[in-house]
Amino acid sequence: MKKNVELALIQSACSADITENIDKATNKIEDAARKGAQIIILQELFQTPYFCQTINEEFFDWAQPIPGPLTDKLTTLARDLEVVIVAPFFEQRAAGIYHNSLVVIDADGTLMGRYRKQHIPDDPCFHEKFYFTPGDDGYKVFNTRFAKIGTLICWDQWYPEAARITALKGAELLVYPTAIGTLPHEKGKEKKEFLDAWQTIQKSHAIANSCFVAAVNRTGQEGKISFWGHSFVSGPFGKILAEAGDDDEVLIVDIDLSQIESQRRIWPFYRDRRIDTYQPIVKRYIENE
């Protein structure tokens, strides 16, 4: 039996006006719901610009508690529209402890929980280690009204271990809210190579785990970074089912969760895993003996 679910991936440009960003996202969520979306996914740090390009302690003032005013607004919205919302934003956990987090809100307005980004990068214009404490409460799967959603964030997407653990916990859909783009010297062929690699690694998670993957990226120029958009959804064998362009867009995608079972029967990766041989993976580096 088919089990169809309508996803909406909302990619947009953000400004320094927090209220404007939240209002913009709210309007797009309402638009997605009118178009039949059941699960609506926002981009990484959706309510702020990507402030990690510079080191400035004033940006900590943008963080929100969970629960708090922002989650209150989103839970009301989810309940009224009867949609699941995945909302990533800057979290203040306690004095001096901040996370790059997301919340999952079920279609009845229940705040199901949060996920805190595990892998924190530090690269030119991506100074996330200054702002974010790595998540310490594990990988998460949320059994929502419409699907079992496994949540990961941006830099997490490059780590197959994170995808595997989340999928093994029962995720039917892996979501990767993202803020990725190019710097001024990364143009043309190099930009295409970066975009291809970004899509390839996430499609590989779909294939290796026989599940769906949704990646939601930002758009627009912020400081030195040109966010390239191209949010997409991959099926369980790595086929891109739909892909956005590089501008603001609400991408609506229909997925059939029943495909997961049939895919795993044909390609039984989970059956053939040699779990008795994987102990070395927990080491930082394996010396060649």
- Helix, strand, coil percentages, rounded to 5, for the chain: 30, 30, 40
Is the Cβ–Cβ distance between 10 and 25 less than 8 Å? yes
How many whole angstroms separate alpha carbon 275 and alpha carbon 282? 13
The question of whether 117 is a catalytic residue gets the answer: yes
The question of whether 187 is a catalytic residue gets the answer: no
How many whole angstroms separate alpha carbon 170 and alpha carbon 211? 10
- Order of strands, edge to edge, in the sheet holding 148-151? 140-143, 148-151, 173-177, 212-216, 232-234, 240-243
How does DSSP classify residue 135? P
Is the Cβ–Cβ distance between 115 and 10 less than 8 Å? no
Tokens in use for 8?
Answer: 């909406």
The question of whether 125 is a catalytic residue gets the answer: no
Instruction: Report the 10 Å Cβ neighbour count for 18.
Output: 16
Pick the catalytic residue: 44, 172, 222, 249? 44
In the chain, DSSP assigns E strands to 4-11, 39-42, 84-94, 97-105, 111-116, 122-123, 126-127, 140-143, 148-151, 173-177, 181-182, 212-216, 219-222, 225-228, 232-234, 240-243, 249-256
Instruction: Report the 10 Å Cβ neighbour count for 195.
Output: 18
Closest CA to 1 of 257, 241, 266, 253: 257
How many whole angstroms separate alpha carbon 32 and alpha carbon 38? 9
Pick the catalytic residue: 24, 28, 91, 117? 117
Pick the catalytic residue: 14, 52, 154, 211? 154
- The catalytic residue positions are 44, 117, 154
